[in-house]
Each structure stands twice: as C-alpha cells, then as structure tokens.
Amino acid sequence: MAEAHLRVFRGTPETPGWFDDFKVPVEEGMVVLDALHWIQGHAAPDLAVRWNCKAAKCGSCSAEVDGRPSLTCKTRLSDFDLAEPITVEPMRAFPLVRDLVTDVSWNYEVNKTIEPFSPPEDVPQEDWRWQQQDVERVQEYRKCIECFLCQDVCHVLRNHETERPFMGPRYLVRVAGLEMHPIDQADRRSYLKDSGGIGYCNITKCCTEVCPEHIKITDNAIIPLKERVADEFFDPLQWAWRKLRGGAPDSAAGTELPMLSRPEAAPAVEVTPPANDADGDPRVPHDATGG
Ligand code: SF4
Ligand code: SF4
Ligand code: FES
C-alpha cells in the first residue's frame, strides 16, 4: 500500500515547536484530514486538530499544507508527490493554541464592529422589492464559510506590520454584501476608510486564490468598495455635493477595531524535542512564532 509522509507541526505557546514525522497508509480518495485522523488513531492521540463537517462547509479545519492555506478536508493526498514529505502547520496569522489549532477569536471581534443589515424602518418586509440580479450579486458574498484562509494569507494581517487595524478580506466581503444590498440603508464608507483600513489592501489577490468558496474577493468585493470610498472621499465633485446636501452620518464611523496581535507562541529558541518521532527519527526543530 502507498504511504504518505506527513510532517506535522506540534507545540503550544508555552513550549518550543517542532515537527513530527508520520508514515500514513494511503487509500484512494484520502484527504489531509483523513491522514491527520489516522495519526490521531494510530500514532499521536494527543495531536490537536480542529474540524467539524469534513465536507468543506464549516470552515474549521483550516491549516497550511505545504505552505498553502487550505481546508485539510478538501485537500487530497493524490494532489501531492508522495515521495516528498507533506508539511501541515497551523495558520500563521493567528495565535497558536496547540499543534494545528489557532485562536481565531479576533475575527469575531472585528465582525461585531460592522453595522448590521439595516432595512428601512417604515417599509414592512412584505413590501420589499428587489431585482433578481441584486439577489445573485449578494449571494456570492453569503457563500463565505468563515474559514479565515483569506485572512491568513493576506500579507497585511500575516506580517503584522500595520500600526492601525485592518479588517481583512473576509470582513470586506461581509461589508460588500451589506453595502450592495438594495434594501440596506446604512452607509459604511467612513467606517471602511477610517476603522476598517481598506486602504491597506493593495489588491494582490492572494485572498481570492485561496478562497475555497471561489468568492472573487478582490474583483467583486474589495475593488467595488474601494471605488465607493474613493468616490465619496476623494472625488472633488462628490465632496462638494456632500457638503451641499449634508447626508446621513456613517453610524459606524470612528469605531475602534481590535488589532490582531502577533502570535506570541514559542520564541525562536534552540529546540529540544521531548522525544523522537513515531519512526524513531529525530524531530525537526521549528520556530513556532511563525515569523
Ligand atoms: S488583495 Fe488585499 S485583502 Fe486580499 S490578500 Fe491582497 S492585500 Fe490582503
Ligand atoms: S471569503 Fe473565502 S477564504 Fe475568506 S473566510 Fe470566507 S470562505 Fe474563507
Ligand atoms: S471540517 Fe468543515 S470545512 Fe473542513
């Protein structure tokens, strides 16, 4: 039977990180999550792995497989050269909890700062009317499964180099779904510019490339939002018109977003692994800071 060689990150924020090597028997159709389950069942019952649906729908099994942010339940072993080791690591943008599990709670704090869907108060829901093309446009944004792979791959969040917060592509997708909803009345453009840090995005499109739901994050969400922000704040005619007409205030303007803290996992120090791996081979030292 064919074997896959998985090299899996192990460690906690308190202990230095390392890689454990495992030889996993491969059956047809196996995905990386199957291999991790085999490891839990046969070699390392204490390996921490987060998963739920095994159907690419809950967004909880996100990790980095051979360096690429991926859903482990959707990543087939047959896509790899089994003669080479397949590395599996936690998402580097977020603080480590243990092994392959990271703390993604920062994302939920950002989500709370977004002005929710705001229909008109004086129009009952049964009287709402909107075009099919508007339904289809908003539907794309609602396919998001909150896997946070786009947040993980985005260099602005991953490198922790900004002094001000950046909400990240997942939440730009959510705001796009609200701003382009024909029934919604709120104006989130000041919020996007000042609190959400939309200007930090330089349209590298890395987020779009990793999205398992194939949401065109940059083309269909971020660029239209950037255009709306630019029209509102940087077009002199719009600026003059806004001064003349006044206009409803952006109710979420000035909202403070939390900063995504740099993972304070194990420091980059000399690593002394606790033991050899399952094959008796030495463990591979690893800098768990993900730097
Ligand atoms: S396109 Fe923007 S949001 Fe997406 S990964 Fe690049 S910088 Fe980040
Ligand atoms: S936009 Fe795509 S990559 Fe980002 S969290 Fe949603 S499903 Fe995941
Ligand atoms: S286990 Fe649900 S998306 Fe992978």
51 lines ligand 3 (CB under 6 A): yes
Please tell me whether the overall predicted TM-score, pTM, comes out greater than 0.85 for this model: yes
154 lines ligand 1 (CB under 6 A): yes
Q: Whose CA is nearest to atom 7 of ligand 1?
A: 201
The pLDDT value given to residue 274: 40
Maximum distance among all alpha carbons in the chain? 76
69 lines ligand 1 (CB under 6 A): no
Structure tokens at 223: 């660029």
| List of the chain residues with pLDDT < 50 | 265-291
Adjacent-strand bridge partners of 9: 19
CA–CA distances in Å: residue 11 to residues 75, 86, 283 = 23, 18, 12
Residue with tokens 């909202």: 255
3-state secondary structure of 120: coil
Measured from the Cα of 151, ligand 2's closest atom is 4
Checking DSSP bridges between strand 86-89 and strand 3-10, what pairing results, if any? parallel
Domains and CATH numbers, the chain: 3-102 (3.10.20.30), 114-254 (1.10.1060.10)
* 193, 233 Cβ separation under 8 angstroms: yes
156 lines ligand 1 (CB under 6 A): yes
58 lines ligand 3 (CB under 6 A): yes
pLDDT tens, residue by residue, 102-135: 999 999 999 999 999 999 999 999 999 989 999 9
The pLDDT value given to residue 1: 82
The pLDDT value given to residue 235: 78
The pLDDT value given to residue 249: 56
